[in-house]
Structure 1
C-alpha cells in the first residue's frame, strides 16, 4: 500500500496552487497575533492616585499635598491619601502646607475612587472598573478567564477537528473570534466582560491551530517546515508587530478591540479558496471527496493526474480501514503514547509560561511600552528564520533543547546586570524571548510529527490545553516581583532550562514520514532498550537451559 505522499507525488512539491494555499493559510493567522495579545494594552495599569473631590474648598497647594509621597523616588501613593477631614481643618488654619510635617497625619484608603493619568491611555479595563489597590487581583483574573477559554477551546478544537474536519473548524473559530471581539466592547460591567472574554479565548488560538494543521496536511512534506516557521508563525509575529502600532494611535480600549476585530472580516472570503484536507478525508474513508480535491489541485498546477489515483485494492483498503473518531484517552493508552503525551504537556506548559510571562511583563521593563512591545514582536522574525534553518539541517530534539537552554541561561544572566544598565537588561530579556519564540515555533512542528493523523489534532489540542495552564500561571508568576525584584525572570529561566533537558527524552522525528496510525508512531528510546534487554535476557535464559539439558544428557 502506498502512503499519502506517494499517492499525491504527481502534484509536485511547490506548484502554483501550493503557493496560493501557503500564502492564504499564513495570512489567515495574522489576526491571532494582534487580537490574542491585545490585553497587553487593553489591561495595562495607567498611573493613578486617590481622587480628591472637586467640591472640596482646597487650594492647589493643599490638593497637591493631600496624596502622600512614598519610596526612594518620592512618588505619589496609588492607594492612600491623608484623611480629608483633617486636611480640611488644617487648610483653614494654615494656608501654606509647606510648613507642616504631613507624615504625622493619619491616612485613609481611596474612598472616592481614583484619578487616572491620560498621558498614555484614554481608558483601559483597569481605569474602566477600578482594578487597582484592593481590587488589583481582578486584573490577572480577567486574563486568566481568557486563557481558561483558550484552554477549553484547545481540547474542543482537537476533538472537533478530528471529527468534523479541519476547514470547518478553522473558519468556525474565525467567526467566533470576530463575533466575541465585537461583543466584548459592549460589556456593561466586569462580570459580563469576563464571560465574553472566556468565549473570545475559546475561538482565537484554536483558529491558529486549525490553520496550522490544515496547512501541514495540504502541503507536501518538503514544504511543511517552511510553512510552519516562515508561514503561520511568521504571520502571527507580523500580527503581533501590528498591535503596538495600532495601539499607539488608538488609546481607548473599546475602540482598539473593535478596530482589530473588524479587520478580521477581511479573511472570511478565504473559505472559497481553501479546501478541506484530503489526508483527513482519506482517514475518514471519504475517497471520492479527497480525489476531487486532488484533481482540482492538479488542474490548478497545470499537471495531468493519473487516470486512477487509487487502485481497486487501495480503494477497498481505505474504505474498510477508515479511522473512526479516536477518543482522547488514546493518548494515554500505551506506555509509549502516555510518556510522549506527559513530556509534551510539561514542555508546552513551560514554553508558554515563558512566552506569555515575558510578553505580559512588558510594562514592567525599562523604556517605552509601545517600543518594547514592538521589539518583542520583531524579535520573533529572526526566531522564525532561525527555526526554519535549524529544522532544515538538525534533529528536532537537539534544536528545541538548544534554543530553550539559550533562552533560560540568558534570562538568568540578565539578573547579574547592574541596576544602572537597565537598557542592557531589557535587551537580554528580548533575546531570551527570541529563544523562547523559537521553541514555540518548533514545538508545534515537532508535536505534529510525533502523533499520527488520527490523533494529530487531538494531540496538539491536549498539548495546547496544557500550554494554557502555563499561560494562566504566567499571570501570577509576574506578581512574584512584588516579593523580590525580577524573581519572575529567575523562575522562568530555571523552568526553561528544565524543559531543555526534558525534550531530550522524546523520540526523534527528523526525516521520518508523518505517521498515519498509532502503530507507526516513533518509540521512546528507553522503551526500545527495555524490550531489547528483556529480549536478550530471554535469549540468555534459553541458552542457560539448553546448556543444563546438554550437561544432564552428557552425565
Structure 2
C-alpha cells in the first residue's frame, strides 16, 4: 500500500527525475525543489498542501477572503486619500506647503509604502503572518487619525509616511496568509480580491465628496484653518473606518499560516492549524502527527532546528544560483527583463497622474476657471465608479484571440492616448470624460498585468521575478512626485510624461515572448 510519504517523494524530486503534473487540482505547485531546501521541509509542505486541498474551500476561507480583502481595500484607499487632500492644503494659518513643495506629501507616501513592503515582508517571516496581519490596519488607522490633526505641512508629511508604512505592508502579508490557507485549486480567487481595490476607490471618493466639499474653503488664496476642516474630517473618518476594519479582523478567528510553523520546525502547531481549519469548515482533518513522523523517519528531522527556513528560503531567492534561473535561456531572459521594466514604467506613470488628478479636475474648468470644490469631488467619485467595470472587461479580453498580451498592450496604449487627449479638453465636462476613460483603461491594464505576470513565470522563479517587478514598481513610484516637483503644474507636462511612459510600456508588451492564453502555467 502506498503511503503519503511515497506519493510526496515523487512530487518533490528534481524536475529531471519526474514527470510534471498537469492536473490543475494537483498540489505539485511549490516554489522549491530539493535543490532549494531540504527534503523533510518540502515533503511536509506538500503534505500540508494536500491536506488543505482535501479540506476544501469552506467557511474559514470565505471569512478570510473578507478580512484579507480589507488589505486590498486599504492599498487603494489611502493613496487616493492623499491625492484627495492635496488641493485643500492651502491654509494661511495651518497646513500649507512651501512654494513648489506640495509633491513632498506624495514623496513621503511612496517612501512609506516602500518601507512597509520591506518591513512587513521580513516581519511576517520572523514572527509569523498573523501578527503583521493585524498590525498593518492598526498602524494605518492610528496615523491616519493623527494626520488629520497635523499642525503644519512637515507634520502632515511625516504622518502620511507613517500610515503608508501600514498600507505598504498590507498586500505583502495578506496575500501570503490567504494563499497559504486556501486549496491550490482555488488560487484563482486571488484575482477576485481586486474587487476590494475597486470598491475602495468608490467609497473613498464618496466620503470625500460628502465631507471635503462641505467643509472646505471655496477660495484657494484666502483660506483659514477654521474654514477648512473638511480634509481633516475626511482623515478622521478614514482612520476611524480603518480602525473598525481592524476590530473586525481582530474578532475573526485568523489562524497562523501552517507553513510558517512548518518552516520553524513546529510540526504539532502546523497540524493544530490544519485541524482548526478543518473544524471550522466542518470537515475531518485528513492528516495526523504520524504522517509528519513518517517523513522524519524517511528523510531526517527538521524539528528543533532554530533556523527559520522560511527566512532562509526568501533570502536564497537572491543567491547567484537562483538568479541564474532567471537567465537560463534567451527567451526567458527577455521575458523577465521586459516584465520588470514594464512594471517599473507603470509604477512611475500611474502615481504621477493619480496623485494630482483632483488638482487637474479643479483647475481645468470651463474656460480654465476653477470649478467648485463639490464638483471636484463629485467628479472624482464618478471617475472611481467608471473604473469598476475594468476588472470585468479585463477578464473577458484575456480569453479572446488577442490573449493576455493583446489585452495588456491595447489597454496600456489606450491609457496613453487618453492622457494625451485629455490635454485638448477645454471644459470641466470634457476633462471628466477623458479621465473616466483613463480610469477604465488603467483598471483593465492593472487587472491583466497582475494576472499575466505570475502566469508566464515557472514555479522556481515566480516569487523572485514577481518580487523584483513589484519592488521596481514601488521604487519607481518614488520618482513620480520628484518629476512633478520640477515640472510646471500649470501646464500639462506631467500628463504628457505619464502618457508617453504608458505608450512605451504598451509597445514593450508587444515584444513579450510568451502568450499564456490556453496554456497551463507550470
TM-score, normalised by the number of residues in structure 1: 0.66
Does residue 128 in structure 1 map to residue 94 in structure 2? Answer: yes
Give the equivalent residue in structure 2 for 1:467: 473
Give the equivalent residue in structure 1 for 2:278: 298
Return closer, same or farther for 1:254/1:461 CA change in 2, 3 Å cut-off: farther
Does residue 370 in structure 1 map to residue 364 in structure 2? Answer: no
CA distance in 2, matches of 1:336, 1:410: 39
Match for 1:209 among 146, 153, 172?
172
RMSD: 3.7
Give the equivalent residue in structure 2 for 1:249: 210
Map residues 514-533 of structure 1 onto 2, 5 A cutoff: none
Give the equivalent residue in structure 1 for 2:239: 261
* Cα displacement (A) at 1:454: 9.7
* Cα displacement (A) at 1:421: 6.6
* Cα displacement (A) at 1:301: 2.0
User: Could you report, residue by residue, the CA deviation over 1:265-323 in whole angstroms, capped at 9, with x for unpaired residues?
Assistant: 21223234222233444444443323222222222222223254846554565954954
* Cα displacement (A) at 1:177: 0.9
* Cα displacement (A) at 1:337: 3.2
CA distance in 1, matches of 2:507, 2:265: 41
Q: Quick check: 2:263–2:310 contact (8 Å CA) kept in 1?
A: yes
User: Could you report, residue by residue, the CA deviation over 1:244-277 in whole angstroms, capped at 9, with x for unpaired residues?
Assistant: 2222232322222122101112122323422223
Give SS of 1:275's match. Answer: coil
Does residue 490 in structure 1 map to residue 456 in structure 2? Answer: no
Give the equivalent residue in structure 2 for 1:405: 413
* Cα displacement (A) at 1:422: 6.0
Give the equivalent residue in structure 1 for 2:226: none
CA distance in 1, matches of 2:265, 2:459: 13
* Cα displacement (A) at 1:464: 3.6
Does residue 225 in structure 1 map to residue 188 in structure 2? Answer: yes
TM-score, normalised by the number of residues in structure 2: 0.70
Structure 2 gaps of 5+ residues are 1-7, 12-27, 29-45, 213-228, 304-308, 328-332, 366-374
User: Could you report, residue by residue, the CA deviation over 1:453-511 in whole angstroms, capped at 9, with x for unpaired residues?
Assistant: 99877765654443233333333555687389433333222222322344554766778
Give the equivalent residue in structure 2 for 1:276: 256
Return closer, same or farther for 1:452/1:278 CA change in 2, 3 Å cut-off: farther
CA distance in 2, matches of 1:247, 1:286: 47
CA distance in 1, matches of 2:299, 2:512: 35
Give SS of 1:306's match. Answer: coil
CA distance in 2, matches of 1:326, 1:421: 55
Match for 1:146 among 100, 106, 109?
109
* Cα displacement (A) at 1:140: 0.5
Match for 1:337 among 306, 311, 326?
326
Return closer, same or farther for 1:458/1:236 CA change in 2, 3 Å cut-off: same
Q: Which range moves more in the overlay, 275-284 or 204-213?
A: 275-284
Does residue 18 in structure 1 map to residue 61 in structure 2? Answer: yes
Return closer, same or farther for 1:450/1:314 CA change in 2, 3 Å cut-off: farther
Map residues 450-465 of structure 1 onto 2, 5 A cutoff: 462-465=468-471
Give the equivalent residue in structure 1 for 2:25: none
Match for 1:380 among 387, 391, 407?
387
Map residues 400-479 of structure 1 onto 2, 5 A cutoff: 400-414=408-422, 417=424, 419-420=425-426, 423-447=429-453, 462-478=468-484
* Cα displacement (A) at 1:436: 2.0
Map residues 316-327 of structure 1 onto 2, 5 A cutoff: 320=302, 322-326=309-313
Map residues 503-542 of structure 1 onto 2, 5 A cutoff: 503=509, 504-505=511-512
Q: Which range moves more in the overlay, 257-266 or 359-368?
A: 359-368
Give SS of 2:350's match. Answer: helix
Give SS of 1:303's match. Answer: coil
Does residue 38 in structure 1 map to residue 81 in structure 2? Answer: yes
* Cα displacement (A) at 1:139: 0.7
Return closer, same or farther for 1:327/1:311 CA change in 2, 3 Å cut-off: closer
Give the equivalent residue in structure 2 for 1:191: 154
Whose Rg is larger?
1
Q: Quick check: 2:181–2:257 contact (8 Å CA) kept in 1?
A: yes
Structure 1 gaps of 5+ residues are 46-122, 515-521, 523-555
* Cα displacement (A) at 1:206: 1.5
* Cα displacement (A) at 1:242: 1.6
CA distance in 1, matches of 2:497, 2:428: 20
* Cα displacement (A) at 1:332: 6.7
CA distance in 1, matches of 2:133, 2:517: 28
